[in-house]
């Protein structure tokens, strides 16, 4: 009973302070510009700074796969589809490969879903190998660098390791043929086998139009202190919860399921997006991988993301000041989550909310159709532009090779 009474008192106190400060906030400025180099990078325009050649592959690598399963358009891995569509009509596209800075191979490697909508990455390595064999046989550009001036979108749970379970992903490692290419991927974790130097970490896909349709008035009070909807245990694969999310989600549930400050549940209500807009903090814990669409949803809906994923590498970290807009909680400190969040000063909460209200922050997390200035497409291009010019050592001498085409699991070597 004591904890309930204390929780309600804290929530009412915070709500009162935020309401008073919020009135001042609404009378003055609704957003806060992202200061320093991060803000400048976020607003960069990549047009004129790079040229991209898009390989025209047989439709079996992309369009035909999508025709079989339209669900891929709304999946959190859909960045591979929308990036392809964007580049086809982008001002950075060149039809002359001799003047290209970068080469892009459009392979929809995640569009293979179970009836429940879960991605099956098992064919992906063979599909990717097949596409690379094709471009290396029909164009000379791959062979000049063995892919060092090529980029691939690999939005799987663990990127180009192509497995949804970390243990298996680590065992597999990055597909050997992609070792020299630049990987554009949602997975990011420091000192991890599945994140190689030079990769560009991007947000997962979240449907922009769907989120737009659920916006509520911006002056709606944020009456929920902590919000989370999702799994705490993966009963099918890890019923005890010690392996899934490294036990962090299980710890959230066991410690706070009865805490009135925490609105947490496995149920996913129809008001999910609206509820996030009524919350002050939104939990973004790791699952099987460190990242999830909750990160995008929290930023879009102005809910301060509470990031629980040790060593995570966040999307566009050179452009988005994650330390300023979010709260980082170590996985071992989850039992102290209530103390950590209630100790954050109201003025600090308001500052984070002002930064989250900045339209450029939200725009950078989305893949809209049509594309818009400063969106995730442009942030990817900015990341590629900042890697230019390519190092001269990337170019191989005639007949020189460094990649092992027969490396990797035997199953990956079968034709696709």
3-state SS of 117-130 is CCECHHHHHHHHHH
Q: pLDDT value at position 17?
A: 46
All residues at 6 or more sequence positions from 45 whose CB lies less than 8 Å from its CB, including other chains: 373, 378
Select from 401, 14, 16, 333 the least CA-distant residue to 177.
401
Q: pLDDT value at position 23?
A: 33
All residues at 6 or more sequence positions from 243 whose CB lies less than 8 Å from its CB, including other chains: 237
Q: pLDDT value at position 224?
A: 98
Tokens read off for 285 = 């814990």
CA 128 to chain centroid, in Å, comes to 21
Domain ranges in the chain with CATH number 3.40.50: 208-365
Rounded CA-CA distance 174/189 in Å is 14
Rounded CA-CA distance 324/402 in Å is 42
Residues facing 263 on adjacent strands: 227
Q: Collapsing DSSP states into helix, strand and coil, what is residue 396? A: coil
At 53, give phi and psi (nearest 5°).
-100, 125
Tokens read off for 273 = 């997006």
Rounded CA-CA distance 179/174 in Å is 7
Element (H, E) at 82: helix 79-88
Q: pLDDT value at position 21?
A: 39
- DSSP helix, strand, coil percent of the chain (3-state; round to 5): 40, 10, 45
If you search the block for the tokens 């060149």, which residue do you land on? Answer: 94
Rounded CA-CA distance 261/279 in Å is 11
Q: pLDDT value at position 233?
A: 92
Grouped pLDDT means (10 residues each) for the chain, 416 residues: 50 48 38 52 83 98 95 95 98 98 97 84 93 97 97 96 91 96 96 96 95 94 97 79 86 97 96 98 95 95 98 90 96 98 97 94 94 95 95 89 88 88
Select from 122, 107, 253, 268 the least CA-distant residue to 183.
107
CATH 1.20.120 given to domain 208-365: no
CA angle 274, 280, 284 (to 5 degrees): 85
Q: pLDDT value at position 42?
A: 72
What's the pTM value of the predicted model, to 2 decimals? 0.90
Q: pLDDT value at position 258?
A: 97
Rounded CA-CA distance 352/279 in Å is 13
Contact 108, 81 (CB under 8 A): yes
């Amino acid at each position: 009973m004591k904890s309930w009474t204390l929780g309600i008192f804290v929530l009412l106190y915070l709500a009162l302070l935020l309401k008073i400060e919020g009135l001042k906030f609404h009378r003055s400025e609704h957003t806060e510009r992202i200061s320093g180099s991060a803000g400048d990078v976020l607003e960069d325009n990549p047009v004129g700074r790079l040229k991209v050649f898009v390989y025209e592959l047989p439709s079996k690598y992309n369009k035909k796969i999508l025709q079989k399963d339209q669900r891929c358009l709304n999946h959190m891995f859909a960045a591979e589809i929308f990036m392809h569509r964007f580049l086809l009509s982008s001002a950075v596209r060149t039809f002359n490969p001799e003047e290209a800075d970068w080469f892009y191979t459009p392979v929809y490697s995640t569009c293979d879903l179970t009836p429940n909508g879960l991605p099956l990455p098992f064919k992906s390595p063979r599909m990717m190998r097949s596409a690379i064999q094709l471009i290396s046989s029909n164009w000379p550009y791959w062979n000049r660098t063995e892919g060092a001036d090529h980029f691939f979108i690999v939005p799987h749970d663990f990127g180009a390791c192509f497995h949804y379970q970390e243990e298996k992903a680590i065992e597999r490692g990055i597909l050997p043929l992609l070792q020299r290419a630049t990987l554009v991927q949602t997975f990011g974790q420091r000192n991890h086998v599945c994140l190689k130097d030079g990769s560009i970490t991007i947000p997962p896909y979240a449907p922009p139009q769907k989120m737009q349709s659920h916006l509520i008035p911006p002056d709606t009070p944020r009456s929920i202190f902590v919000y989370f909807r999702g799994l705490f245990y993966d009963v099918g694969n890890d019923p005890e919860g010690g392996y899934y999310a490294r036990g962090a989600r299980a710890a959230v549930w066991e410690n706070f399921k009865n805490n009135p400050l925490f609105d947490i549940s496995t149920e996913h209500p129809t008001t999910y997006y609206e509820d996030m807009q009524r919350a002050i903090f939104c939990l973004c814990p790791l699952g099987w991988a460190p990242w999830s669409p909750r990160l995008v949803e929290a930023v879009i809906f102005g809910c301060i993301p509470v990031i629980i994923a040790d060593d995570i590498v966040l999307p566009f970290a050179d452009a988005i000041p994650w330390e300023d807009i979010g709260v980082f909680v170590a996985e071992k400190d989850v039992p102290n989550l209530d103390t950590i969040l209630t100790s954050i000063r109201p003025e600090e909460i308001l500052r984070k909310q002002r930064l989250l209200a900045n339209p450029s922050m939200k725009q950078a997390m989305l893949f809209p159709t049509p594309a818009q200035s400063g969106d995730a497409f442009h942030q990817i291009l900015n990341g590629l532009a900042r890697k230019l010019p390519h190092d001269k050592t990337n170019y191989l001498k005639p007949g020189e090779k460094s990649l092992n085409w027969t490396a990797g699991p035997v199953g990956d070597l079968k034709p696709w």
